[in-house]
Amino acid sequence: MKRPLIAGNWKMFKTTGEATNLVQTIKAGVYKINDCDMVICPPFTALAAVSKILTETPIELGAQNMHPETEGAFTGEISPAMLKDVGCRYVILGHSERRQYFFETDAFVNEKIKTALKYSLIPIVCIGETLEEREDKRQFEVVKNQFDHSFKDLSKEEIVKLVIAYEPVWAIGTGKTATPDQAEQMHSYIRRLLKEKYSEDAANRIAILYGGSVKPDNIASLVKKPNIDGALVGGASLKAESFVQIVSQAVAEVEAGASS
């Protein structure tokens, strides 16, 4: 039975006080759930406060970004050691908002992945096409290009430590979810790329999450698909009720699938 992974990306939302309230409610809401991996990625300023609340819970802490250098004169940036220091286990890398608004390239994302792995942080690496690219029917070519360059020179031992998130840019924050079939088609394509470059075993060990307008009412139809291992949730992770519902729906769907 697959074990879903649900990660909440809070983006640039929540002051420390708001983050503390939210994570306390989430913690209370999921305390009986054992069959799901959960990650919460608050903004940098709230990491320390959230980390304290998550101690001795199964919920892991993640950051939303990281600089590839271990330290140095990079005003405004955060190093992997700083993330480890505050209790992070995961880090989101190459989110489309970073690529789009801060001009992050695949080569830069590749450097970040390598540093994150050196620090035993689990990178959640985002890839996905824009609306224009999908309308031009170039989505597979675009994702392959991101795959080849973001994962350049990663060994099999390294790649299996990653989580990949397929986030079609046109589905982020728009209320337009990719249909489960559209998402599954891309997830199975990514799985095939992993098989071809590494091995079947490596491909099967890597969690591929879907991200883009995931809500309590669409998570089940997504995780039902064989190649969708969970979700990277934006807007719906900002309310405890919807995040907890997404987690419980994902678990219920996986359990129902396993017993049918």
Catalytic choice (60, 95, 133, 187)? 95
Asked about 167 being catalytic, the answer comes back as: yes
Mention every residue, 6+ apart, whose C-beta is less than 8 A from residue 75: none
Which segment (79-87, 132-140, 148-156, 207-215) binds ligand 13P by CB under 6 A? 207-215
> Is residue 234 involved in binding ligand 13P (CB under 6 A)?
yes
Interaction of residue 211 with ligand 13P, rule CB under 6 A: yes
Residue of 6, 172, 190, 247 interacting with ligand 13P (CB under 6 A): 172
Given a contact cutoff of 8 angstroms between Cβ atoms, the answer to whether 125 and 98 are in contact is no
Q: Is 190 in the site for ligand 13P (CB under 6 A)?
A: no
Among 62, 80, 128, 212, binds ligand 13P (CB under 6 A): 212
Q: Which stretch binds ligand 13P (CB under 6 A): 12-20, 45-53, 102-110, 233-241?
A: 233-241
- Could you say whether residue 104 binds ligand 13P (CB under 6 A)? no
d(CA 68, CA 72): 10
Looking at 128-136, 155-163, 194-202, 206-214, which segment touches ligand 13P (CB under 6 A)?
206-214
List binders of ligand 13P among 132-171 (CB under 6 A): 167
> Of all residues in this chain, which one has the CB nearest to ligand 13P in the complex?
234
**Smaller CB distance to ligand 13P: residue 9 or 115?**
9
Q: Give the C-alpha separation, 184 to 31, whole Å.
A: 30
Smallest gap, in angstroms, from Cβ of residue 172 to ligand 13P?
4
Q: Count the site residues for ligand 13P by CB under 6 A.
A: 14
The nearer residue to ligand 13P, 4 or 235, going by C-beta atoms, is 235
Least distance (Å) between residue 150 CB and ligand 13P: 16
Instruction: Choose the stretch contacting ligand 13P; rule: CB under 6 A; options: 46-54, 80-88, 140-148, 234-242.
Output: 234-242
Q: Which is nearer to ligand 13P, 12 or 258 (CB)?
A: 12
Q: Does 56 qualify as catalytic in the annotation?
A: no
- Minimum Å gap between C-beta 212 and ligand 13P is 5
Q: Is 94 in the site for ligand 13P (CB under 6 A)?
A: no
| 3-state DSSP of the chain | CCCCEEEEECCCCCCHHHHHHHHHHHHHHHCCCCCCEEEEECCHHHHHHHHHHHCCCCEEEEECCCCCCCCCCCCCCCCHHHHHHCCCCEEEECCHHHHHHCCCCHHHHHHHHHHHHHCCCEEEEEECCCHHHHHCCCHHHHHHHHHHHHCCCCCHHHHCCCEEEECCHHHCCCCCCCCHHHHHHHHHHHHHHHHHHCCHHHHHHCEEEEECCCCCCCHHHHHCCCCCCEEEECHHHCCHHHHHHHHHHHHHHHHHHHHC
The two tokens of residue 199 are 């091995």
Query: Which residues are the active-site residues?
Result: 95, 167
